[in-house]
Amino acid sequence: MLVTFADKMNEPANRAALAFRAAVDQQEWPDVIETSTSLVSTYLEVNLALTPLQGIVEQLQDLLKSRDWYQAALPNGRSLWHVPTVYGTDLAPQLEEAAALADVDPDTAIRQISSSRVRVLTIGFAPGQPYMGELSETWNIPRQKGLTKAVPPGALVIAIRQIIVFTNAAPTGWRHIGQTAFGTFLPQTPRPFTLAPGDELIFPSVDRASFDQINDSSGLGGADRETIA
Amino acid sequence: MTAHLTITAAGPAMSVQDLGRTGYRAVGLTVGGAADRRALYEGAALLGQSADSAAIEMAGSGGSFVSDADVRFALTGASMAAKLDGEPLVWNASHLLPKGSTLTVGGAQAGTYGYLHIGGGIATPVVMGARSSHLAGGIGKLLATGDVLPIGKDTRKDVSNTLPADPRFSGGVVRMVASAQTADFASETVSRFTSTAFQRDPRGNRMGVRMAMDGDGFAMESGLSIVSEVVVPGDIQIAGDGSPYVLMYECQTTGGYPRIGTVLPCDMPRVAQAQAGAELRFEMLDLQDAIGVQARALNELKALRAAVTPLVRDPAEIRDLLSYQLIGGAVSAQANPFD
């Protein structure tokens, strides 16, 4: 079951989805198998072959009426990350293509994206993989029609005012504009999921030589973390 | 002592699978687990154990296996040419693998995913609540030649049981319901979708299966810029080129392509098992009818154990026929048995 707070990405709807999921979890309804959020929705998994639909719909409607979810605050204890990134080159071959679609030259594209502070809107697609935004309207570029067969782990990709760092090698319709060594899912470590919704990130541009020198024993690709007060 | 199963030759895409792991969707990990859930229930029924037991999933073809103890095993899913020390074995049945004997499993004859279940289950370490490899999510890996897998404690001894064959290996009708975005498609597009004969495309894996067809795709006008939304196994996603993909259990948690509908969980094995080129058609059910169909299918899974019957062996195929005591039960045809 999906509870959707908007038909397009917007800030209040994103906060509402996060807060509503937290509230559903607090109810501890026995029929709810698991919950999650997307950019603007809260998702509940219920086995409808065992649970009457009407009852769960009424419970959700009562909870929705209990407060104004669009006024909800962001989660506490958020982090700000600085993630070294190589833009373009053979490591990230679609920078020029994305810049052309946004109608800017590649240098301007790098300047704009590397100075943007984006927020984790949701985690999804693959373990720990962040959808981040929103970039300026310049970057409201569509996904490509075909799928890129695979981008590597750490790939920074762009579409519809959002960027993603890929957790694992995977096919995608988003354009590959930068490369990081930032591990978003580290299953062998005490903190397997690096990011949480609400965390913020900046992707400063580094040259290829300094990128190659990053000591990657932590799996975080030279990223720095600070706490948002 | 823990028994072990050694893989002496691994097929190209074998992995340990169970019913998957729930509870990690919020951090980006879908449930994963066996592509054909029904096959797991069948294996569990044949061996008289829990359907949670982990098994070896074999995509396309199997491999060779040796154990360091006598172990029971069952073969379900797509039928593959199986032999025990060179002697053919019946598929969809349970057997004994004596210590040191070699079980070989060849290529799929019908369907895509075959399963090797072991009495006591495969007992590899539990990772985040399950043993299944989630290859797209980066948990576990494909099995390789030389891998040695621990086996759980088996509490039973019965073998040579079978189940009636279930027809799900050559395509057919797949039932679906409307998804969150079905209404955003033109109604002609949806009715054209449900009247199209698709072929399972060779491009298919544990994440998704592409459907090939003649004629135009099923694109929605704003299809390339809709907001990324939750996707679930069974969702039929229309990619940018208009071709449908049925998402499987190892799919991503979110996706930005529109979905024309969602396949019922009970019909997912039919999608998973269809071989490349097999014809599939989609039938739209309303939600209440679909709930009824799915509830009946769940009851059918529960009843599998009661459907298990002893394997009737053809004497011509029993290699050690002469070692059997065949005349001990002889009676006189003239004598009155009630005297």
Amino acid at A212: D
Q: At B288, which helix (H) or strand (E)?
A: helix B287-302
Instruction: Check residue B336 and give its pLDDT.
Output: 53
User: Please, which residues 170-209 of chain A have a Cβ atom closer than 8 Å to chain B?
Assistant: 170, 173, 185, 187, 193
pLDDT tens-place string over residues A160-204 = 999 999 998 988 999 999 999 999 998 777 788 999 888 999 999
| Separation of alpha carbons A95 and A118, rounded Å | 18
Residues in A touching B127 (Cβ below 8 Å)? 187
Instruction: Check residue A189 and give its pLDDT.
Output: 77
Across chain A, what does the average pLDDT equal? 93
Instruction: Check residue B337 and give its pLDDT.
Output: 47
Instruction: Check residue B325 and give its pLDDT.
Output: 55
Instruction: Check residue B317 and give its pLDDT.
Output: 56
B227 at the A interface (CB within 8 A)?
yes
Residues 6 or more apart from A101 whose CB is under 8 A from it?
A141, A142, A175
Instruction: Check residue B321 and give its pLDDT.
Output: 56
SS3 call for B86: coil
3-state helix/strand/coil string of chain A: CEEECCCCCCHHHHHHHHHHHHHHHHHCCCCEEEEEECCCEEEEEECCCCCCHHHHHHHHHHHHHCCCHHHCCCCCCCEEEECCEEECCCCCCCHHHHHHHHCCCHHHHHHHHHCCEEEEEEECCCCCCEEEECCCHHHCCCCCCCCEEEECCCEEEEECCEEEECCCCEEECCEEEEECCCCCECCCCCCCECCCCCCEEECCECCHHHHHCCCCCCCCCCCEEEECC
Instruction: Check residue B132 and give its pLDDT.
Output: 96
Instruction: Pick the residue from chain A with its C-alpha nearest to B225.
Output: A142
Instruction: For CA atoms A54, A57, A59, A61, give the dihedral sign.
Output: negative
Instruction: Check residue A109 and give its pLDDT.
Output: 97
Q: Per the confidence metrics, is the pTM higher than 0.90?
A: no
A48 at the B interface (CB within 8 A)?
yes
Instruction: Check residue B254 and give its pLDDT.
Output: 87
Tokens matching residue A14: 């994103």
Burial of residue B150 (CB within 10 Å: 0-12, 13-18, 19+) is middle
pLDDT tens-place string over residues A93-150 = 999 999 999 999 999 999 999 999 999 998 987 899 999 999 999 999 998 888 899 9
Backbone dihedral angles phi then psi of residue A159, each to the nearest 5 degrees: -175, 160
Mean pLDDT by 10 residues, chain B (339 residues): 94 97 91 97 98 97 97 97 96 97 96 97 93 90 97 95 93 96 92 95 91 88 70 93 94 89 98 95 97 96 95 64 54 51
Is A126 in Cβ contact with B225 (below 8 Å)? no
The complex scores an ipTM of 0.83
| Separation of alpha carbons A55 and A32, rounded Å | 12
